[in-house]
Structure 1
Amino acid sequence: MERSVSLSDNFYVDVPSIGKFIRDRSNSFSAAIVNRISSLKENTSNEFQPKVTEIHLSGLKVIVQVKSIEDDENDFSNKEFNFKGRISFFSKSNCRDCGAVRSFFREKRLKFVEINIDVYPLREKELIERTGSSIVPQIFFNEKLFGGLVALNSLRNSGEFEKRLKEMLGKKCPENAPCPPVYGFDDPEDVNEQIDEMIGIVRVLRHRLPIQDRLTRMKIVKNCIAGSEMVDIMIQHLDCGRKKAIEVGKVIARKHFIHHVFGENDFEDGNNFYRFLEHEAFIPKCFNFRGSVNDCEPKLAVMVGQKLTKLMSAALESYASEDRHHVDYVGISNSEEFRRYVNLAQDLQRCDILPLSPDEKLAFFLNLYNAMVIHAVIRVGCPEGVIDRRNFFGDFQYIIGGHPYSLTTIKNGILRSNRRQPYSLVKPFGHGDRRLEIKPKGAVFLSPRC
């Protein structure tokens, strides 16, 4: 019987030969590509030179993008300019002229420092001192004021931009030039905010009231306090009568430090149960709650909404493409604009929305909805599929005026005038929901799929 022959006895792989074959083929391909590209450069007889050319080789297609003369002239990064200075310009959010200046510098691939006075409001004083007005954009080459968009267009159309650029940026930037923004620090006015006048008694109540689960109406309500116990402590601490203590309790409730567990009244004495805002069940899902309730004096909702919109607009202008079809969410998440946006969003926790007019409410929630979507993409990620999309819009929430608002709640409850979303049997706001008071009468009847 013959012994079976193993594969290793008859099969031999010449590894050096395979390596030599691959190197020879790669060298031949490289040589062919170089020759064809060289022929493209030498072929100057044709008046029309296509920007993209295809080279077909054996089993391979190479696409070559030919750089035009115009593109080469606009690219200052490849030119041997010894730029020692700094280009900086003052801007505002949602400013068309500022966007034109920004696009021009990006097109020329010039490094620049943008000082957005909506993001850094204290720099507006410096702008006025340097230029005599708060009009933007204002461009500086080192410490010298160049002008606005009109001056930039005039110099560009005359063809002297390159010459002027070399003249003004050929020397080192002096110390009296506009300084780049400092990241990671808040303005003094944001740090030294006014503390709420009721915070003293609220802290006493937080410390002395027994917070526990209680049984009422055949239900167990968690982490609540009794109205009578709260009144007793206020009488003892404020040295006042019971009527005065009840009035103080109503003020505390209107400022959204506490809420009735069933949302039935502001504050009443007796066997009524209330819950501190930080103990609400929805708190862990709210992305503008960072460990504690904002105890500062509530700011006007209009002012907070406008600042949030300007900050998010500034982030988009810096990290989105010109057509807004592509957004660098990682860049936004690491930006100073987004850091300030997240800090300012905490002021929404106890802001009062009721005094706003119907138009102001619509503008407030429309702008906030768009900003929340960007925040949600950064923190949660883009939804994939129908189920993820439903969870994405339903789970991402903010505390606004003491109540939770998800993206779905804002769209269907506020903007669509409390209408059911597709495939849902209930409305966003049920009977007796305090958020019904905020719903503007002239709501925008958006499509449920928009």
Structure 2
Amino acid sequence: MAEVENRLEGQVTVYSVPGCPHCQHAKNTLKKLGLPVCDVNVNQHPDIRGRIKELTGRSTVPQIFFNGVHVGGNDDLQNLAPDELERLIHMVQSQPLPSDALPLPKEDDTDITAKEEGEFKCERDAFADIVEEFKSSGQIGTHWRGLKVYRNSFTGEQLLNWLVKEKGVDTEKAGEIAQGLKDRKHFNCIVGKGLESSTLLRLLEHEPCAALNTGQMAACSPIKASELSELLRNLILKLYSDHLSADGKTVDYKAMSRSPSFEHYCELAVQLQRVELLSLSREEKLAFFINIYNALVIHGNLRIGFPKNVWQRYRFFNYVSYMIGGEVFTLQDIENGVLRGNRKGVAQLLRPFSKSDPRLQVALPDAEPLIHFALNCGAKSCPPIKTYTPEGIDGQLRTAAEAFLENDDGCMVDTEKGEVKLSQIFKWYKADFGGTDETLLNWVLNHMGESPKKSSLQRILSAGNVKVGYIPYDWTNNGTE
């Protein structure tokens, strides 16, 4: 492909999402050609995503247009015949972009951009100063209950007496302040309940867990859970995009881990410690936990490295965690405990949450099959990453499923052999799709966009005796050595 030297009247429009390897490769190819690119992030503009689906019949990104002519995705761009590419370039050189050719964002869409950049202003929590003073008071220490030792703990009596003595308040006011600290999740009750004198308490930052967002106090006033997860996911998506290679094939995770923006992400993740989860609606839970899962995978990869074998993967998904709302959630807890309605995951003998586990209150009542096309585990065969919002979450998840099934990594149909090959995801979680080949294939058919592939699937299903196979899963990561 030769570089374009003449001044161009039109433009090439690329509809993409941050962190998309195929999008990055396409934009880099166009840049080398000297073509002016209008890059539209469809994560920010769901209405535009819908219009692009109408225009192209596709849910995947990128979708590339030369002026108003649809070229297709990255593979279509790379495989253009030289004479066809020359014709398209000449059109963009000589013809301006028609004013009504394509849906484009409004120029004043600055509020969405700010949210994507991870903008967050911390308002210090009203109780943060009291917690800081209490930490340096000498009240926190080691306590025994029978033969068990509890480090970095304190009793309800210690807290109340300290408030009376050091803050100069009466007993009733001390009780109100202590209750306020408890309600705002500054500490957990580790032995006993309430604020009785014998109750043992521990500050969240002192919890003896390996959660990646502990070790310091969440000093900001609690932010709404869905807003915080969206900020975190957008920020780490931008980091991912900023460190993606020009061809979209590799990510420089080492450079990402040294980025000041990653430090900002880690500071923001600390605020998850005290978010309120019990009041979340189903839609808010879906968006929140999908975004957090995807962000946590990248955070875990940056902190402890990529799992390279079956044992390391098992440990990774059962170990990498965040403290959220005062409780620790691993990747397995989020996927199988919360989003799959507390079902056993792959190679799990027990359900993630017991009947007495407080995290069970957060779990969805039933498994949501569509989450499997939104969760990105960090491997090359995982679905692409994006950000989800509570508003229209079901539509967003259905779009993700359509895009996954459009790709041959998700579904292949061979009409001659009467065979359908599916991603291993469908094999591992077959119970979520009805449990049988018949219910699974009907689910796939009902969640495909209108396409030749869907028509082919309809034909072989009508013929009967369909063979179902599964595509090998690529567990390799895309990090640079």
Would you say same fold, with TM above 0.5?
Answer: yes
What's the counterpart of residue 311 of structure 1? 235
CA distance in 2, matches of 1:164, 1:101: 26
What's the counterpart of residue 348 of structure 1? 272
What's the counterpart of residue 328 of structure 1? 251
What's the counterpart of residue 54 of structure 1? none
Tell me which amino acid in the other structure corresponds to 1:328. Answer: V
2:287 maps to 1:358: no
CA distance in 2, matches of 1:336, 1:275: 31
Query: How many residues in Structure 1 have an aligned counterpart in Structure 2?
Result: 319
2:325 maps to 1:406: no
Distance 1:276 1:406, change over 3 A: same
- Unaligned stretches of 5+ residues in structure 1: 1-70, 122-134, 137-148, 166-186
CA deviation string 1:168-223 (max 9, x = no partner) = xxxxxxxxxxxxxxxxxxx9974x52110011222222122422221214422222
SS in 2 for 1:223: strand
What's the counterpart of residue 428 of structure 1? 352
Q: 1:384 aligns with which of 288, 293, 308?
A: 308
CA distance in 2, matches of 1:112, 1:252: 55
TM-score scaled by structure 1?
0.58
Q: 1:107 aligns with which of 23, 30, 55?
A: 30
Distance 1:116 1:354, change over 3 A: farther
Tell me which amino acid in the other structure corresponds to 2:153. Answer: C
SS in 2 for 1:214: strand
Tell me which amino acid in the other structure corresponds to 2:207. Answer: E
What's the counterpart of residue 363 of structure 2? 439
CA distance in 1, matches of 2:176, 2:36: 57
CA distance in 2, matches of 1:117, 1:309: 15
Tell me which amino acid in the other structure corresponds to 1:353. Answer: L
2:197 maps to 1:270: yes
CA distance in 1, matches of 2:118, 2:265: 16
CA deviation string 1:411-438 (max 9, x = no partner) = 2221222233444444322343222222
What's the counterpart of residue 35 of structure 1? none
What's the counterpart of residue 202 of structure 1? 131
Higher relative contact order (CA 8 A, sep 6+): 2
CA distance in 2, matches of 1:112, 1:345: 37
Determine what percentage of the aligned residue pairs are the same residue: 26
Q: 2:212 aligns with which of 287, 299, 302?
A: 287
CA distance in 2, matches of 1:245, 1:410: 37
Distance 1:117 1:342, change over 3 A: farther
2:336 and 2:352 in contact (8 A); partners too? yes
Paired residues for 1:156-195 under 5 Å: 157=88, 159=90, 161-162=92-93, 190=120, 193-195=122-124
CA-CA distance at 1:441 after TM superposition: 2.2
Paired residues for 1:74-93 under 5 Å: 75-76=3-4
Q: 1:216 aligns with which of 138, 145, 153?
A: 145
- Unaligned stretches of 5+ residues in structure 2: 50-63, 70-86, 97-116, 373-424, 430-481
2:152 and 2:202 in contact (8 A); partners too? yes
CA-CA distance at 1:118 after TM superposition: 12
What's the counterpart of residue 462 of structure 2? none
CA-CA distance at 1:361 after TM superposition: 0.7
CA-CA distance at 1:95 after TM superposition: 12
CA-CA distance at 1:227 after TM superposition: 0.4
CA deviation string 1:372-403 (max 9, x = no partner) = 22222233222122211111112211121122
CA distance in 1, matches of 2:151, 2:40: 46
2:28 and 2:247 in contact (8 A); partners too? no
What's the counterpart of residue 459 of structure 2? none
Which shows bigger deviation, 354-363 or 204-213? 204-213
CA-CA distance at 1:336 after TM superposition: 6.6
CA-CA distance at 1:309 after TM superposition: 2.4
Q: CA RMSD in A?
A: 4.6
